[in-house]
Structure 1
Amino acid sequence: MSDEIDLTAALPLAQAVDGEATQETAPESELDRKINEHFAGAVVRKDLVKAVKGNAIVPSYVLEFLLGQYAASDDEATIQAGIDKVRGILAQHYVHRNESELVKSKIREKGRFRIIDKVSVTLNEKDDVYQASFANLGISGVIVEASTVNANQKLLVGGVWCLCDIEYFHNEDARVVPWILGSLKPIQMSNFDYQGYLESRAKFTTDEWIDLLIQSIGFNPEMFGRRAKLLQLIRLIPFVERNYNLVELGPKGTGKSHIYSEFSPHGMLISGGEVTVPKLFVNNANGRIGLVGYWDVVAFDEFAGKKKRTDKALVDIMKNYMANKSFSRGVETLGAEASMVFVGNTSHTVPYMLKHSDLFDELPESYHDSAFLDRLHFYIPGWEVDTIRSEMFSDGYGFVVDYIAEVLKSMRNLDYSDRYQRYFTLGSDISTRDRDGIHKTFSGLMKLLYPHEQATHKEIEEILRFAIEGRKRVKDQILRIDDTMVDVKFGYNSLTAGWTAVTTLEEDEYPSHYYRGRAVATGAEPAAEIPATATDRPISPAPVPAELFQGQRDFVENQRGVSYENLLLPYLQGATGIEFHDPYIRQPHQGRNLVELLALIAAAKDPADEVAFKLFTLLEDDTEYQQRQLQMLSQIVNGAAQQGIKVDVGKDPGGHDRWIRTDTGWRINLGRGLDIFQKSDGGWFDFGTTRQEFRQVKAFGVTYIRESV
């Protein structure tokens, strides 16, 4: 049996309570009433998707297409009837892979049957016919009329979810496929009223509109601050802006790829390692255009990974396409409008990357290239995005995904990039490529937030600063990679208030690591040296004595003045590897104790350093309690990783001993482990909640042993 504990076995809280959560609905808010008033028929309650999805592996936009037809209402009875209708449609017509033979039998027995499946089409050059394949039904070679393919060309690249009528006619000729495509209807809207969309937008304040957009992508806006909301909405810019190049790198579990797989029928999400030149751009053997010719957005999932093998030819063609919006097919040059999105996970903290490399450190070597990176218009700081939790999902109203997807697609023809110029001008030394990146982000945010163009001076300044920051993050990291690049003063001039410099958040938090000796390019006089700030230096809560105590210390019941800070931290400081054995990290208060210890370790180290923390514990026997324990441990692991502590959880070999060992040579035997404090109310106004020294302890002992390093 493995000594590792699989934290992925923990069910998300939402999953555990789905059956009950969908039966209860929160009271309709004032915003929801306003949404239903001005966008009647184009919105749906977002929690309904979970209610109808069941075990159907189908994108959200497919489900919302159906919900938009049957449950786009604020009347509870109508909604429930709509849910029942959609459930019935999915139960009867959605093809599960493991039931494909049953569906085939229905088609044969009935002669004609309607299904919901993902359909892709290829051209059979030998017979000069188009043939369809059905992903879940598992049949292929079905003849498709050329007119159907011409009207839905995305069938040729990646496939499209469709409502199809399939017929069956057996032929004695074994070469003839018995399946016949009677009709095919892609699951997407055919039309919408754009002018009505603009008029309805004017009825909402900016805050209300942002919250409507956040609810439309499935999140509860009350769980996000203003900056966090804007970071979520940046992910939509590739859908509304042509040839927009976006990168997002950050910790796992923050929903980086969700938008591109679930949000729009105009986006295609592919694994970074599965793309080839013919698939992405053009197949020179047959002249067929690849994904960029048909999709508005092509997103590369799991793009990070230093050791990933990459095709140098693909990188070169991609660089040319991202810069010039074109690629070659033999002697012919073709243009395309697809935006490119690159998302991947980071394995180190921001200060660690800034100290040892750069914020693009996780990319494969071929892409860790200044020429490629300089084509990126915006870098979303994924480390600022919260890990997705069940309470973050919305039960309010948002746009039916397919409706807002069509709105965004229609706005790709518009250009709002100059709308700031009546108030502001960019810095004079900002290069053309930097300016293009800023303009495209600004234009995208204007289309998303102010499509009716009624933005105030302050609102325009907010999104201009955001656009500059995202491009600055790209350029500043390129300067680390390529010293031939020229430093740039990023900022803007107000026609009334003069120059304003723009910085990134990580630049303000970790200046000495961010600049690493180079001067600040803010428009002020260059500094000879960047001083460390309070957040940039290691925090030492207490001076470490030259000689630490060795031996036994005993504490009596009700004693105060004891904390992990004075009891354990002096022995843990400077360690890069810590081993902690405690079989009883099971209950919430025990998890809190562990978090308090990890937080002390994180605060005491340089933010750019990392500590490996190995926890050995045991799992609850009861399945329900074990799930809660695993979920708690998973949250602790994810939270610690953001602070540069890599927690690895393993199974305790047995016994009741609780102890700590460090790679600096200390072993600390803990009689009670971390559970040394007496139970208290622990409310917000309890001093013990803020400082451990104010809490009473149980009777316990600690032994400090100096071992050889």
Structure 2
Amino acid sequence: MNAEVLSAPAPLDWQALHDLNAKVAEVFKSLAIDKRRLPASQLTKRGIPAYVAEWVLESVVPGQGDLSTEEATKVRDWAARIIPGPGEHNIIKHRLAQGQTVKVLTPLQAEVKLKKGKEPERVAQLGLLGISDAYIADALLENHPDLLRQGMWGVVELGSLQDGVAVLSFKPMQASVNLKLYKDARRQFTLHEWRALLLTSLGFDPESFTEWQQTLLLCRLLPLVQKNMHLMELAPKGTGKSFTFENISPKVRLISGGNISPAVLFVNNASGQWGLLARFSVVVLDEVQTARFEKPEEIVGGLKGYLANGMLTRGGLHQTASDCGFVILANISLDDQQRPLRELLVEELPSFLQETAFLDRIRALLPGWQLPKLSSKLLVGPSSGLTMGLKSDFFGDALIALRDDLEAEGYAARNVHLSGEKPYRRNEDSVRTIAAGLMKLQFPHGELSPLEYHRYCVKPALQLRQLIWDQLYTLDSEYRQYEHSLSVQ
């Protein structure tokens, strides 16, 4: 790997970091937050993701700087009243049974059940409370249509009815996304400052990583900014593979272990309920070696079709299009030099995920073994220089909004052409998709030089696709009719 890519960026001195904090606050105003406040609040220990916890902080104790003792107490008191803890759902149900109204911060998802000869039934599900059939009014569904898609986080007011529970009101997390503002803001930062801001927004201390490691961390965001961006990350335990996906957006669904079935991923043929790939922007399978797959042949068959053309179907009974990104996270064994123990990187995956027709449809393999193990020293903390980042709910929504900005795709189509007499089409499509995503992340305003595009977008794209291509080249002689080493004209 080129030494230029592995080198550490020139560090910002203390004054520069102080100025950058001030710039972030000035440019983004209420959309920025001091990332030190979240760990000090200990809100995530109550089982809520960062994008929810930061919303709570700004709602209850808005401000910058270290969280004071008084603010921390106020947040804890609010959380004790509103955020249900483990085992508290029966207490909440008891209060409802006594006729009390209850306010809780929880994810809320709704469903409309159509039954022949009967009025449509609208029900709300509150998984944290063990409630799956609460009444919800039409007006709430019309005002918040995402309740019918992947669901939403917010403060729910519940009351009891004679025959059950009703959602009386719902205050969702609000993140207004203005892409023009986001792009205009980018113009006020250097590339080094902007990359540092993105990483800080994710909760990382950017000064703790080399330039290449920073790029790898940013590549985890590719499925958010690119439609149908399918990614695999292999890394040893403890590198924080799932950290980004857990805390970035409610439109990202992380499945960690457990039972995975065709009905969960694609569609439940009995009920007609669409699965996760139809309802979320990104679906992440974590710890795939320990997951239990029901009907693995049907799963990999359905995935091959979906990854190839974006169409979801199961047994021909239902069909729909989706732009959901699919991500696989898996552990990998390393030698004493912290390099992969096996030449075939995918050898430790379940056998049905090693099929070349499946792997070919994964656009990129992220070498997570090149990242350090996650520790408090790598996260924004009291000793960090850069502490101001974007609020997680705004940041996640801004990234997903960039999916519909196709300028980067056009730029890649004009400027990325693989070398060789007959380049393999999926390689070229994948390199273009990755390069376009990296352009959206680092140059959302579309202003960059050809040299910057090659170094920060094309070169990493080639490296991530090359790792997939190496697996295919090793596993199946069919692919050896093409060039082994990927490069651009």
| TM-score, normalization by structure 1 | 0.60
The whole-number CA distance in structure 1 between the counterparts of 2:46 and 2:267 is: 33
Q: Are 1:308 and 1:364, in contact at CA under 8 Å, matched by a contact in 2?
A: no
The whole-number CA distance in structure 1 between the counterparts of 2:292 and 2:56 is: 43
The whole-number CA distance in structure 1 between the counterparts of 2:223 and 2:317 is: 29
Counterpart in the other structure of 2:49: 59
Q: Given the alignment, which residue of 440, 445, 455 partners 2:438? A: 445
Q: Are 2:257 and 2:290, in contact at CA under 8 Å, matched by a contact in 1?
A: no
Question: What is the identity, as a one-letter code, of the residue corresponding to 1:35?
Answer: V
Q: CA deviation at 1:120?
A: 3.6
Question: What is the identity, as a one-letter code, of the residue corresponding to 2:371?
Answer: V
Q: Given the alignment, which residue of 310, 323, 335 partners 2:321? A: 335
Counterpart in the other structure of 1:213: 198
Percent of matched pairs sharing the same residue: 28
Question: What is the identity, as a one-letter code, of the residue corresponding to 2:450?
Answer: H
SS at match of 1:270: strand
SS at match of 1:98: coil
Structure number with higher relative contact order (C-alpha < 8 Å, ≥ 6 residues apart):
2
The whole-number CA distance in structure 1 between the counterparts of 2:63 and 2:50 is: 18
1:492 matches 2:477: no
Counterpart in the other structure of 1:454: 447
Counterpart in the other structure of 2:6: none
SS at match of 1:375: coil
Question: What is the identity, as a one-letter code, of the residue corresponding to 2:399?
Answer: L
Q: CA deviation at 1:274?
A: 2.2
Q: CA deviation at 1:38?
A: 0.7
Structure 2: unaligned runs, 5 residues or longer: 1-14, 382-386
The whole-number CA distance in structure 2 between the counterparts of 1:72 and 1:425 is: 49
Q: Are 1:44 and 1:71, in contact at CA under 8 Å, matched by a contact in 2?
A: no
1:398 matches 2:398: no
Counterpart in the other structure of 1:32: 21
The whole-number CA distance in structure 1 between the counterparts of 2:172 and 2:439 is: 30
Counterpart in the other structure of 1:556: none
SS at match of 1:255: coil
* Alpha carbons of structure 1 residues 465 and 27: separation in structure 2 relative to 1, 3 Å: closer
Q: Are 2:37 and 2:65, in contact at CA under 8 Å, matched by a contact in 1?
A: no
SS at match of 2:458: helix
The whole-number CA distance in structure 1 between the counterparts of 2:257 and 2:150 is: 15
Q: CA deviation at 1:425?
A: 3.8
Q: Given the alignment, which residue of 48, 58, 61 partners 1:68? A: 58
Q: Given the alignment, which residue of 413, 416, 425 partners 2:404? A: 413
Question: What is the identity, as a one-letter code, of the residue corresponding to 2:172?
Answer: P
Question: What is the identity, as a one-letter code, of the residue corresponding to 1:385?
Answer: L
Q: Are 1:310 and 1:366, in contact at CA under 8 Å, matched by a contact in 2?
A: no
Q: Given the alignment, which residue of 343, 359, 367 partners 1:381? A: 367
Q: CA deviation at 1:236?
A: 0.5
Q: How does 1:245-644 map to 2 (within 5 A)?
A: 245-271=230-256, 274-304=259-289, 311-328=296-313, 330=316, 333-349=319-335, 350-354=339-343, 358-395=344-381, 396-415=387-406, 416-419=408-411, 425-428=417-420, 429-462=422-455, 463-486=457-480, 487-488=482-483, 489-493=485-489
SS at match of 1:464: helix
Q: Given the alignment, which residue of 147, 160, 168 partners 2:160? A: 168
Q: CA deviation at 1:460?
A: 0.5
The whole-number CA distance in structure 2 between the counterparts of 1:27 and 1:88 is: 37
* Alpha carbons of structure 1 residues 421 and 297: separation in structure 2 relative to 1, 3 Å: closer
The whole-number CA distance in structure 1 between the counterparts of 2:412 and 2:269 is: 43
* Alpha carbons of structure 1 residues 220 and 326: separation in structure 2 relative to 1, 3 Å: same
* Alpha carbons of structure 1 residues 454 and 228: separation in structure 2 relative to 1, 3 Å: same
Q: Given the alignment, which residue of 170, 186, 197 partners 2:172? A: 186
Q: Are 2:268 and 2:275, in contact at CA under 8 Å, matched by a contact in 1?
A: yes
Question: What is the identity, as a one-letter code, of the residue corresponding to 2:488?
Answer: Y
Counterpart in the other structure of 2:11: none
Question: What is the identity, as a one-letter code, of the residue corresponding to 2:124?
Answer: A
Q: CA deviation at 1:418?
A: 3.9
Q: Are 2:261 and 2:293, in contact at CA under 8 Å, matched by a contact in 1?
A: no
Q: Are 1:71 and 1:81, in contact at CA under 8 Å, matched by a contact in 2?
A: no
Q: Are 1:306 and 1:363, in contact at CA under 8 Å, matched by a contact in 2?
A: no
* Alpha carbons of structure 1 residues 309 and 68: separation in structure 2 relative to 1, 3 Å: same
Q: Given the alignment, which residue of 125, 134, 140 partners 1:142? A: 134
The whole-number CA distance in structure 2 between the counterparts of 1:248 and 1:33 is: 35
Structure 1: unaligned runs, 5 residues or longer: 1-25, 494-709
Q: CA deviation at 1:408?
A: 1.0
After superposition, the C-alpha distances for 1:166-216 in whole angstroms (9 at most, x for unaligned) are 1134x3xxxx11x22101233342x23221111111000000000000101
Q: Are 2:135 and 2:166, in contact at CA under 8 Å, matched by a contact in 1?
A: yes
After superposition, the C-alpha distances for 1:624-653 in whole angstroms (9 at most, x for unaligned) are xxxxxxxxxxxxxxxxxxxxxxxxxxxxxx
Question: What is the identity, as a one-letter code, of the residue corresponding to 1:68?
Answer: E
After superposition, the C-alpha distances for 1:65-93 in whole angstroms (9 at most, x for unaligned) are 2223455543668x777655543331211
* Alpha carbons of structure 1 residues 310 and 30: separation in structure 2 relative to 1, 3 Å: farther
Counterpart in the other structure of 1:559: none
The whole-number CA distance in structure 1 between the counterparts of 2:227 and 2:298 is: 24
After superposition, the C-alpha distances for 1:474-525 in whole angstroms (9 at most, x for unaligned) are 01111111111134241122xxxxxxxxxxxxxxxxxxxxxxxxxxxxxxxx
Q: Are 1:309 and 1:364, in contact at CA under 8 Å, matched by a contact in 2?
A: no
Q: CA deviation at 1:118?
A: 2.7
| TM-score, normalization by structure 2 | 0.86
The whole-number CA distance in structure 2 between the counterparts of 1:129 and 1:150 is: 15
SS at match of 1:283: coil
The whole-number CA distance in structure 1 between the counterparts of 2:258 and 2:100 is: 42
The whole-number CA distance in structure 1 between the counterparts of 2:397 and 2:453 is: 25
Question: What is the identity, as a one-letter code, of the residue corresponding to 2:331?
Answer: N
Report the aligned-residue RMSD: 2.7
The whole-number CA distance in structure 2 between the counterparts of 1:207 and 1:70 is: 33
SS at match of 1:97: coil
Q: Are 2:224 and 2:282, in contact at CA under 8 Å, matched by a contact in 1?
A: yes
The whole-number CA distance in structure 2 between the counterparts of 1:274 and 1:366 is: 16
The whole-number CA distance in structure 2 between the counterparts of 1:85 and 1:195 is: 36
Q: CA deviation at 1:269?
A: 0.6
Q: Are 2:269 and 2:317, in contact at CA under 8 Å, matched by a contact in 1?
A: no
The whole-number CA distance in structure 1 between the counterparts of 2:415 and 2:128 is: 54
* Alpha carbons of structure 1 residues 197 and 227: separation in structure 2 relative to 1, 3 Å: same
Question: What is the identity, as a one-letter code, of the residue corresponding to 1:64?
Answer: E
The whole-number CA distance in structure 1 between the counterparts of 2:432 and 2:398 is: 21
Q: Are 2:257 and 2:292, in contact at CA under 8 Å, matched by a contact in 1?
A: no
After superposition, the C-alpha distances for 1:145-182 in whole angstroms (9 at most, x for unaligned) are 2453465555456654321011134x3xxxx11x2210
* Alpha carbons of structure 1 residues 370 and 140: separation in structure 2 relative to 1, 3 Å: closer
Q: Are 2:260 and 2:292, in contact at CA under 8 Å, matched by a contact in 1?
A: no
The whole-number CA distance in structure 2 between the counterparts of 1:307 and 1:288 is: 21
